[in-house]
Amino acid sequence: MAEYVSYLRVSTQRQGQSGLGIEAQRAAVDRFLASSGGTLIAEYVEVESGGKKARPVLVQSIALARKSNATLLIAKLDRLGRNVAFVSSLMESGVDFVAADMPCANRLMIHILAAFAEHERSLISERTKAALAAAKARGVRLGQNGAVLAEQHQAEALAFAMGLKSEVQAAYASGAQTISEVADELNSGGFRTRRGVLWSPGTVHRLLGRLRS
């Protein structure tokens, strides 16, 4: 019977403390193990931004997987991060790994998805900088009035929306046809709005609007 070491990651300390996201990832791991008949020998949880290269907990999980001749199991492919070089180094580590949400993905597909995620992160950064630069060009004193705070709020809202893009796409791919059904998918997956509450058709509508902008 195959043995697995699971790696779960959330992007913020708040998510890590509340369990939001972790529970959904753990459930995905359990479903994968139930269908594959594998055995989980260890679980690692890391609270770290996907854009950062330093992942000490991931390094530990890889080390155990290598030592135990086990497969590294990631609940969601995007949990690996948004850095092509990082994903490439993992692929070259010699440790087999699989994503519970995309078990049939080959190494080429994983590399391509990582490239798209890295590009998406770059676009978010560029949009944030452009919004702040536009405010400054209009004579707004950055950080000292409500106009800048509004600009920052919009940039943060867009970044949050882009971070959920793959989940929205997955909801539609799984059969969701209405915004109510998308809300149900996000809620059942453990995802919450920026305010930390359940999704509703209204909040999903605003989310989709930001993704189309």
Considering only CA atoms, which of 151, 165, 153, 164 is closest in space to residue 193?
Answer: 164
Instruction: Encode pLDDT of 27-53 as tens digits.
Output: 889 999 998 888 999 999 888 655 555
What gap in Å lies between CA 1 and CA 106, rounded to an integer?
22
- Looking at residue 204, what is its pLDDT? 86
Residue 43: beta bridge partners? Answer: 6
- Looking at residue 135, what is its pLDDT? 65
User: What's the CA dihedral at 191, 195, 197, 198 to 10 degrees?
Assistant: -50
Query: Where do the domains of the chain lie?
Result: 3-105, 116-212
CATH superfamily of 3-105: Resolvase, N-terminal catalytic domain (3.40.50.1390)
- Looking at residue 102, what is its pLDDT? 78
| pTM for the structure as a whole | 0.51
Phi/psi region, residue 212 (left: phi>0; alpha: psi -120 to 50; beta: rest), is: alpha
- Looking at residue 47, what is its pLDDT? 80
- Looking at residue 68, what is its pLDDT? 92
Residues designated catalytic: 11
- Looking at residue 17, what is its pLDDT? 44
Strands (E), 84-199: 97-99
- Looking at residue 184, what is its pLDDT? 86
- pLDDT means per 10 residues, the chain with 213 residues, are 88 48 85 90 80 73 91 76 63 80 72 66 70 68 54 73 82 82 84 83 83 67
- Looking at residue 40, what is its pLDDT? 94
Task: 180-189: list long-range contacts, CB under 8 Å, 24+ apart.
Answer: 180/204, 182/208, 189/24
- Looking at residue 64, what is its pLDDT? 93
